[in-house]
Amino acid sequence: MMKRPDYQKIYFDYIQTKSPEKMKQCEFFFQKNVVTSLDVIKINTIIFGYEKDSLKNRSFSAPDITYILAYQKKNKLNNKQLATHFKLSRNTVAKWKKIFIV
């Protein structure tokens, strides 16, 4: 398995030097044992503001994908609504639904 960057250390150092006023908002992130891709996206939005670009070029791990698909089922969303909520492509959501059974 490929080793992932230590996002907690990276973001902690950045917040500490560039924007210490956001430390309180980001506390949840630093207390987690396992950091998912969705957590990284959330902390990135908190620090740098709303992201206009889509998440089409982002990579998601299998647990992240199953979380997103479970979210869809729990909230009774169609593929378009889910794609809009997570800023994904509808085709990506459809492909994930074929591969991962939730």
Nearest to 69 by CA among 38, 42, 45: 38
Can you give the residue ranges of every domain in the chain?
A: 7-48, 62-100
3 state DSSP class of 9: helix
Share of residues in the chain with pLDDT > 70 (%):
89
Q: What pLDDT sits at residue 69?
A: 95
**What's the helix, strand, coil split of the chain in %, to 5?**
65, 0, 35
Tokens representing 46? Answer: 């908190």
CA dihedral 89, 77, 44, 12 (to 10 degrees): -130
What pLDDT digit, counting tens, does each position of 58-76 carry? 788 888 899 999 999 999 9
What pLDDT digit, counting tens, does each position of 6-27 carry? 889 999 999 999 888 988 888 8
Query: Rounded to two decimals, what is the model's pTM?
Result: 0.63
Q: What pLDDT sits at residue 56?
A: 57
**pLDDT of 88 higher than 60:** yes
Q: What pLDDT sits at residue 54?
A: 55
Q: What pLDDT sits at residue 71?
A: 93
| Helix axes of 7-18 and 37-48: crossing angle, nearest 10 degrees | 10
